[in-house]
Structure 1
């Protein structure tokens, strides 16, 4: 079966599925970096390992779960903005951070630009939640 469901009947929005799938890819990359650091005892890329696990695995998985549980967020244009900013910024951010840590300071502008892109992704997720996570309205006072 190609679809998964919540509570046995609701289909998970495609953006939720994509976020969760990519989060798992980032988890594998983060684990691989951690294994590599442990095997070589060279921990230069420790910040890359931490950020891939935090922004790639944890943040993206939580966004995916949020979109799955709250379909109104998934249907918002802000969800697509968050998804693309997140997944275009993170690889650039991690690659440029790795290069910076390995002694290539000329990549600093790419790092800064990708950090702003990632911040934009988090702001899009936050604004989406504040706009679309509304509880039931209280009845008007008489």
Structure 2
């Protein structure tokens, strides 16, 4: 399976999770989990979908082994950070270190992506290659 497809499939799963938190907040009237909802949708759904688009548009970059490092770090980080954020917002302070570790992994995934983009030789003079 291509890295682009994996990011898209992951994005859809994060979207389901994000909208589920949104539904839970809307039905309960308790909007204390707005940060978890926003992070699920922006980091999970939107960013993952954009990564998928980027890799689909740039197959030479998508073929690099580092894209799998990006995918693994980013999604492992989200899988740890986002539930932990929800728990922290629910008042479980013990989840704070897990959230910090997850945030660090997610950030590391973003850095790998940034390196892939900045060092890519085929993006053209304007930097977008589209």
* Same fold, TM-score > 0.5, yes or no: yes
Q: Which residue of 2 aligns with 1:52?
A: 40
Cα displacement (A) at 1:71: 0.8
CA distance in 1, matches of 2:71, 2:45: 13
Give the TM-score normalised by the residue count of structure 1: 0.83
Note the aligned Cα RMSD (angstroms). Answer: 1.5
Runs of 4+ off more than 3 Å: 133-137
Cα displacement (A) at 1:106: 1.3
Per-residue deviation, residues 49-96 of structure 1 (Å, max 9, x unmatched) = 000100100100000110000012211222111100111110210111
- Runs of at least 5 residues in structure 1 that lack an aligned partner in the other structure: 1-12, 138-142
Are positions 1:77 and 2:69 aligned together? no
**How many equivalent pairs are there?**
125
CA distance in 2, matches of 1:49, 1:83: 21
Cα displacement (A) at 1:118: 0.5
- Runs of at least 5 residues in structure 2 that lack an aligned partner in the other structure: 126-130
Per-residue deviation, residues 14-41 of structure 1 (Å, max 9, x unmatched) = 1100100110111111111111101111
Give the TM-score normalised by the residue count of structure 2: 0.90
